[in-house]
Amino acid sequence: MCDKHQLVVVVVDDAHHMDAESWALLEELSADPRAVVVLTLKPVTADTALTPAVKAVLTNLTTRIVPLRGLQPEFIPPLACQLLKVQEIPLRLNE
């Protein structure tokens, strides 16, 4: 899948919305040692229906699952300012 001297990085946000064909492609890509695949997705629970390709990607020996926690409250106002490109936000939104 990759040129023998080329590293490939694939980043997918909200991977839980991908279709079966996309998961199959990622399964193939994740088997290539020159490929790095980074996904964000909702937590997988016992009730989550998983296709064989999803299971293969998530259980691959090279897969690293890093649970992310929410932001601490003191970081939210500065992030909002950065995203909105403003100096400050109204105090009532800060609460």
Alpha helices by DSSP H, the chain: 20-30, 52-59, 76-84, 91-94
Is 0.85 topped by the overall pTM? no
CA nearest to 3, candidates 30, 27, 33: 33
The predicted structure's pLDDT at residue 8: 87
Sketch the domain layout of the chain as residue ranges.
8-69
Q: Which residues of the chain have pLDDT under 50?
A: none
Instruction: Give the pair of three-digit tokens for residue 53.
Output: 């390709």
The predicted structure's pLDDT at residue 23: 92
- The DSSP letter of residue 87 is S
